């Protein structure tokens, strides 16, 4: 997916820009501001050693796909308010911060709002390129007890940079739940429309508290690949084509 890689690269540029913005003269992050608590390493630590240590190519691919599906590192730094940001609005349960960076000849101004209610934290970010329109970039929420959340990235802002609809209506969404038994259910979805072709893919990952689980990869509404493994790390895999099973196999825990 060339478009996906390009947009992910753009997100990386913004992340680096936010880090370089660094420290300002005044620390404006107030005590009530909360960061996203989801930690992908907590999920990966549940995986059985027999799966992690396997030399089977499909077991290794399984680990790689899980890591890819859980990886929000390209974006997670953009969910922090830089120390030099200007606080432009504050209420009893919310606050808005503003800051600007320059990258690749463009000036990006970020408007970052945090709010909360009795059960959830909420984050929203808008981007303004030069003096143009403010575009939504991030919408996120998370339960205060850490039992679930969602982060959704909107790439409509890239139309201001490229002057085309190539990246219009592209969304990258991460959703997760942690149930009372300690089982994680995580979904990463990529969808959108570039004016001529729809894009849709998703990873669905379940990692149970005992280390067992499964992963499914969907493309354009069709199941393409699925893997399952038990608490010891033994697993099975299946490839599909046009909804029909194409090939399958298994691996043994190391």
Least confident of 97-101, 143-147, 207-211: 97-101
- How confident is the model over 38-59, as a mean pLDDT? 94
Confidence of residue 22 (pLDDT cuts 50, 70, 90): very low
In angstroms, the CA 223 to CA 239 distance is: 8
Q: Is the pLDDT of residue 190 over 70?
A: yes
Entry pTM: 0.79
Q: Is the pLDDT of residue 48 over 80?
A: yes
Q: Find the radius of gyration of the CA atoms of the chain.
A: 20
Residues whose CB falls within 8 Å of the CB of residue 238, separated by 6 or more in sequence, listed in order: 225, 226, 227, 245, 247, 248
pLDDT for residue 234: 98
Q: What percent of the chain has pLDDT over 90?
A: 43
pLDDT for residue 223: 94
Question: Highest-confidence range of 15-19, 132-136, 181-185, by mean pLDDT?
Answer: 181-185
pLDDT, greater one: 194 or 109 = 109
Q: Is the pLDDT of residue 18 over 60?
A: no
- Long-range contacts of residues 145-148, Cβ cutoff 8 Å, at least 24 apart: 146/37, 146/38, 146/178, 147/177, 147/178, 147/179, 148/175, 148/176, 148/177, 148/178
């Amino acid at each position: 997916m060339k478009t996906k890689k390009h947009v992910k690269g753009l997100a990386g540029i913004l992340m680096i820009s936010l880090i370089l913005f660094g420290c300002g003269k005044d620390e404006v992050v107030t005590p009530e501001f909360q960061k996203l608590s989801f930690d992908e390493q907590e999920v990966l630590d549940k995986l059985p050693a027999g799966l992690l240590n396997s030399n089977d190519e499909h077991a290794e691919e399984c680990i790689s796909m899980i890591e890819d599906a859980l990886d929000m590192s390209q974006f997670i730094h953009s969910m922090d308010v830089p120390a030099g940001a200007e606080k432009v609005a504050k209420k009893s349960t919310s606050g808005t911060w503003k800051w600007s960076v320059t990258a690749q000849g463009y000036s990006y101004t970020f408007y970052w709002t945090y709010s909360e209610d009795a059960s959830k934290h909420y984050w929203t970010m808008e981007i303004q390129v030069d003096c143009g329109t403010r575009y939504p970039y991030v919408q996120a929420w998370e339960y205060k007890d850490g039992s679930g959340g969602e982060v959704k990235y909107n790439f409509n802002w890239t139309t201001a940079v490229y002057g085309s609809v190539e990246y219009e209506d592209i969304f990258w969404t991460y959703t997760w739940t942690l149930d009372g038994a300690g089982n994680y259910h995580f979904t990463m979805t990529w969808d959108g429309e570039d004016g001529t072709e729809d894009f849709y893919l998703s990873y669905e990952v379940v990692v149970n508290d005992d280390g067992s689980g499964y992963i499914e990869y969907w493309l354009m509404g069709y199941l393409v690949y699925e893997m399952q493994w038990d608490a010891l790390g033994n697993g099975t895999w299946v490839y599909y084509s046009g909804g029909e099973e194409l090939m399958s196999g298994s691996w043994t825990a190391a």
